[in-house]
């Protein structure tokens, strides 16, 4: 196996030491893993893709888990009413699969037990009810599979653009 010499600035030594520690003592493995991620992200960026990070799981805010992939957004659909909102986003991954990210906001309900002018002044007992929000990520292989999992309006939009490349090189 060939040897490669990497020159490291003194200020970066703690970073390399931590990377080696996280890789079980194998700095070469840490560097190769980082370079693979870098090359994948940069090649994708050159092809018009971007790194996408989405929340998944129950709840809202920073405590949710996150998942990351390289893709391009094909479409988004939002439906809301007085107590909640649903977001559907569809992406195409670099491997050509379709990624469905769904977010549902917490349900919110406000009920006051007082009517008339007292209600408008905020007098009387007030009740607020909420549920936790939820987000999910699902990957499907084909447009046919995608059709069964998203609203028809979004499917029509995505199907019309799904085969187009994320970046079109113009020879002008």
pLDDT of amino acid 129 = 62
Report the candidate in 168, 126, 161 with the shortest Cα–Cα distance to residue 143: 161
Whether residue 165 contacts residue 96, with contact meaning beta carbons closer than 8 Å, is answered with: no
Q: What global pTM score does this model have?
A: 0.67
> DSSP readout, 70-101?
EEEEEEEEEEE-SS-EEEEEEEEETTS-EEEE
Chain segment 81-102, per-residue pLDDT in tens: 877 889 999 999 988 899 999 9
More confident residue, 172 or 150: 150
The domain spans of the chain are 12-46, 49-161
């Amino acid at each position: 196996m060939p040897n490669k010499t990497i020159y490291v600035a003194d200020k970066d030594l703690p970073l390399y030491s931590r990377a080696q520690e996280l890789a079980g003592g194998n700095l070469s493995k840490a560097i190769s893993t980082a370079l693979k991620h870098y090359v994948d992200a940069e090649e994708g960026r050159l092809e018009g893709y971007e790194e996408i990070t989405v929340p998944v799981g129950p709840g809202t805010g920073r405590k949710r888990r996150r998942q990351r992939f390289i893709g391009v957004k094909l479409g988004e659909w939002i439906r809301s009413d007085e107590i909640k909102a649903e977001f559907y986003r569809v992406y195409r991954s670099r491997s050509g699969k379709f990624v469905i990210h769904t977010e549902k906001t917490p349900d919110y309900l406000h009920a006051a037990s007082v009517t008339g002018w007292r209600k408008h002044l905020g007098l009387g007992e007030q009740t607020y009810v909420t549920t936790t929000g939820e987000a999910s990520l699902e990957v499907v292989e084909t447009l046919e599979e995608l059709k069964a999992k998203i609203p028809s309006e979004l499917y029509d939009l995505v199907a019309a653009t799904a085969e187009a490349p994320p970046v079109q090189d113009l020879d002008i």
